[in-house]
Structure 1
Amino acid sequence: MTAGNRIRNRGQQERTGIWWWCGQVLSWLVLFTVLALIAIMIVIPKLGGATAFTVLTGSMRPHLPPGTLAVVKPIDPEQLRIGDVATYQLESGEPEVVTHRVSAIGASLGGEAQFIFRGDANNTDDEPVQPEQIRGKLWYSVPYLGYVNSALSIQQRTWLTWIAAGGLIVYSLVMFVGAWRERRRKELR
């Protein structure tokens, strides 16, 4: 065995040793986690026409504890049923919202539909809600991810998405060039 072969064999061992595999697994886990977070928080809601909110209080415990990311999809209020979890504006046209469960559906004295909501952990109903106040029905929720959602602004989420996409492109290029180089080395032997 020549010195060149010994060096090549050592290099191959390093690429397949325990530390190399640990590094590979860790890098794939980090990549998968970042992509999953971006998909759950940004891409899926945007593609579905939904909005992500963060649960701030314990009124929906145990189903939606504080810090939960609640993704709400717009819905025709006539499709809401008792037991559905939905998000509504406290005051029509104002940004402040509440996510509670529909506890009753009725009509005002004027015949207009009204919805009564109640938090799962509350023992009293909320004030009656008009259909125009309803932002949508709960599509899905993810515990603890609401804290991340609250910490990032819309602009930061957009940048995070672009950085992740750029990182994937760079990673793909590096993997492609590495495979190409390895193939060239084998051809030259």
Structure 2
Amino acid sequence: MTLQRCHHIARASRTALIALGLLSLAVPGAAFANTAATQATDSAAIEQRNKAIVEAAFEKWRGGTYVFAELLAPDVVWTIHGSGPVAGTYLNQKDFIEQASRPLTSRLATPIAPEVHNIFADGDTVIIRFDGTATTTSGAPYRNQFVWILKMKDGLVANAEAFLDLVAYQQVVDNNAPRSQ
């Protein structure tokens, strides 16, 4: 074998080794790209599902159906931001309904009718901005604006943050007699 032929074989071997090295680097990258694409697809599906669950619940609510029992996880953590007697964090569905929702709804002659302005979904979080209107037990109108940030888990609200006009809420509670049960 000639020296020139040996150099040619050595150069070809080096080229083959470099190509194998680059190939081994590229394959894990391709696997990572496929994993990232799959995760993005899963995330989009989760967003769509969660948004659809909240939209359907608000449609039922707008039609007069009480939806909280089916929308909230039993151990939901619900925080009402702001200041006032109802502001705070409730550690389960029962406490939220008994201590935050019922003091208001028991003083309304009609259910709150939500008018949804926007619903946004990002991963397991759904943000909804809506207005709510009702008539109080004394016949006065109740109007409020809400932003809820809902963290979903397994199709239920596991964690919620609520922003609303707490003065309007408290005026209804303070100035209206509860309905007889």
Structure 1 length as normaliser, TM-score? Answer: 0.28
Q: For the pair shown, which has the larger CA radius of gyration, 1 or 2? A: 2
Higher strand share: 2
